[in-house]
Structure 1
């Protein structure tokens, strides 16, 4: 991913960190939910997982608006994001 001239503080500190946090919580919530015994608890973790996935999509939108990352990179990220959300919606 290449970075154009922009406010690097905005890219490095805010959206990048938030994207990392929300995207890594997706598999963490899946793993934690699988370990729960009741269906209601698992469903709760499924909801958190989907919420984190949608949050990740919004962070990709923010990075696009900052124009610090080429559109091609954002488009690739959004394509992966769409597939992940589709998989999560099936559960």
Structure 2
């Protein structure tokens, strides 16, 4: 398999992390070690786990790390929803981030299915 940097879902998730960092810059300073940190860490976990899975020896390990990426994505979506509900994120910013995250979600789910299909006898 090619290098993880060539995988579109990794590229899209890197773009998502960048957007998350920009959006969370305006969060209150008291959230630096709270919600801001949580959202950023969960977003970073998405492409990081894709990359780590590619560094493993087997499709089984790759699938495990791709599934961790999905979990991190859902965690980030939840945290973004909370940030919107407490008015840290404007509705428009939330919608843009959420739509980007849904695109990454669909791509990850599709990629997982592709890997599972090729590992079946």
Tell me, yes or no, whether TM beats 0.5: yes
Q: CA offsets per residue over residues 1-57 of structure 1, 9 Å max, x none?
A: 5859xx6524x3322111100001111100010111112111111111111111110
Alignment TM-score, normalising by the size of structure 2: 0.65
Q: Which runs of 5+ in 1 are unaligned?
A: none
Q: Which runs of 5+ in 2 are unaligned?
A: 1-22, 112-121
Alignment TM-score, normalising by the size of structure 1: 0.85
Query: Which of the pair has the greater relative contact order for Cα pairs under 8 Å at 6+ separation?
Result: 1
Number of residue pairs the alignment of both structures matches: 88
- Which of 35, 59, 67 is the matching residue for 2:79? 59
Q: CA RMSD in A?
A: 1.9
